[in-house]
Structure formats: C-alpha cells, structure tokens
Chain A
C-alpha cells in the first residue's frame, strides 16, 4: 500500500515537469517562453541512410535507420524468448511480469487458432505467434520517445533552413525571428537514428511474401498435388459446358488473389504504421503540447491490432489452404 502511491506521486511530478518544459519551449506566453514553433519533420518513405558507405560493399545496401529498428525489434523478441523460456524452465505454473503478458497473448491466439485450424494448429500456430510478436515489437518500438526524432542533421532538398538562434543551432521553418545572416541557402533535415521497421516496405513485403509462400506450403503439405486444382481447375472444363469454363476462370482468379494477398498484407501494415507516424508528426507540429499523447494512445492500439490482424489473416489463409476447396468451388459455381 505504501509503495504504489509513492511511485504515482513521482510520476505525477514528472508529467507536470514535462508539461511546464513543453509550455516553456513551445509557447511565447508572457515573454518567458522560447517560443520555438515545432516544424513539420520531413516525411521520407524509404528508410533513410545513416551512412553513405554500403554494408559489405553490396550495391544499394546502406545502413538505414529501419535496419536499426529491425535490430531493436529482434532484440525485444529475443529478450521475450529468453524471459519466457527461463520462466518456464524455473517450473512455475503461471508466468509473471512481461513473459506472463506474452503468455496470456499467445494463449488467446492459440485459442483462436484452435477454433480455426483444427488439427493443423500445431504447425500453423508458430507462424501466427512469430508474425504477431515480431510485428508487435516493431510497431510498439516506434512509440518509444526519441524514436524518429533524435538523429543527425543532413542536407535535404525538401528540408528547412538551418539557423543560429542565440546559442542554439536549429532547423527553423522561417518567419519573423529568422536570423538572415546565418542562412546559407541550403536546406537540412534530421535523419533519425531509429525508425520502426514496420514503416519500411522491405520488412512488410518480406513478411507478406513469406506468409503467402508458407500458405502454399501448407496447402501442398495437406492436400498434395490436389492443391494445384485450386488454381488450374480443368476437371470440369469439358464435362460441364458453361460452369466448367467458369470454374477454370475462378481458379485463375484464385491464382491472382494469391498475389494480391502479398500486396494487401504488405501495404496494410506499412500504410497503417507509416500513416501513424505521419499523423504523430502532423499533430505534433500543429499542437506542440498535450495533443500528441492522445494519438500515442491511438497508435498503441493500432500497433496491437495490426500485429494481430497480420498474424490472424496469415493463420486463417493457412487454415483455409489446409482444407479442401473442391466442393467450395461447386457451390460458388452454382450460386
């Protein structure tokens, strides 16, 4: 009883101090604040290069901030793995702390998988868990303060001028207080050290491609070569005059839909997370204090939901691939 209120009080003072600091930095009330208007950070879709020398000398393979983000996400997942495995090895019946939360999440996901995949649960569930945990780690690592904000100042053509404001060198959008003397005509932007890997299309495409490939693998494992008839359905082409042709056409459409799944997976996650990041930028530049906190909460939920949705869609498609499709097509053809 005595421990918790103390911590709360401590946190309350931190929040108050942050608010006062924010007000001091970003507003010019009563002439005491610095009145630094936050600029709209540059929005750059690919991962930004941290260095101009390619890794291992491979063409185009530069160290980017999303690569650092990938390392962070991996680190989180590996730490969770260590925590969970050591927690289970210690013989406890119920895990505590973070590994307990992971266990609760995975138990829920296991329940969903069991309800959908049936006897293939044991094979499908690790993919579900991997994708969900990795994407969740990537999404939530983007919410850590300092992410996408602390970095090196680089020259950037769509950036803002770099000016001297008293003792500080800052990127300034320009306006009344611009010291024209120090303006050298070049534009700059901050390249952050860290950016969540789920805002990198390479990551989302890699996940999507692996997921779709594994869906096909599960299809072949469960049905053998009969799985091919899903895409190349010549069984009824000549026996049924019109419906056979329709069945064949549906098979081709299924083949196309497998490729559209890749796009859909990749862009859903990327779009959500990238849009979330842009949203935070925009809100931060419009209302310097308070408002961003609300959108942090929103991003928290979006990150969780997108992670679960990515994993769950993969799981559902895998489960569908393990079940027969022949009779399903018949129904569709006659509907």
Chain B
C-alpha cells in the first residue's frame, strides 16, 4: 500500500508541470488577441500561429499528464 500511496503522490506531483503550460497558453492567447485587436486584417495568420503556439505550450502539460498516467496505470 505504501507503493500505491507513493504512486498517487507522484502522479499528483507530476501534474504540477501543467502550471507552466497554463500560464504559457494564457500568454499566447493574450498576445494573439491583442494583435488581432490592433490589426484585425491579420486575424487568419495570427490564429494559425496562435493555435501552433498553444499546441506547443500544451504539449508540456500533455507530457506531464502522460507521466502521471504512466505512474498511475503502467508502473
């Protein structure tokens, strides 16, 4: 049972990394919305790049999630 408890704690700790991804996504979207507000004509390009940026930032959170899932269900 100690191993089980350690697994749960470890999975929880692994998800701390999602903080960075959340902040990153917020910054990306904030910047993109400002840019769109200043130059509405460039909305298409900005959206494309914004989604790419979100995907990169979100990838970090997904890595955390994968690690947590691995800890919980695989090992």
Contact = CB atoms under 8 A, between A and B. Distances in A.
Is there direct touching of A and B in the complex, by C-beta distance under 8 Å?
Answer: yes
Main secondary structure of the interface of B (DSSP, over half): helix
Interface residues of A, number: 22
A43 to B, nearest CB: 5
Contacts of A38: none
B45 interface: yes
B13 interface: no
Interface residue tally on B, bucketed by range: 10 to 19
A278 B72 CA distance: 12
Interface in A231-285: 264, 267-268, 270-272, 274-275, 278
A20 interface: no
Contacts of B44: 111, 115
A44 interface: yes
Interface stretch (A6-14, A289-297, A304-312): A304-312
Contacts of B59: 264, 267-268
A268 B51 contact: no
A268 B62 contact: yes
A278 B69 contact: yes
Interface of B: 44-45, 48, 51-52, 55, 58-59, 62-63, 65-66, 69-70, 72-74
4 closest residue pairs by CB, A with B? A271-B62, A309-B55, A271-B66, A268-B59
11 contacts: A43-B72, A43-B73, A45-B73, A111-B44, A115-B44, A271-B66, A272-B62, A305-B51, A309-B55, A312-B48, A312-B55
Interface of A: 43-45, 111-112, 115-116, 264, 267-268, 270-272, 274-275, 278, 305, 308-309, 312-313, 316
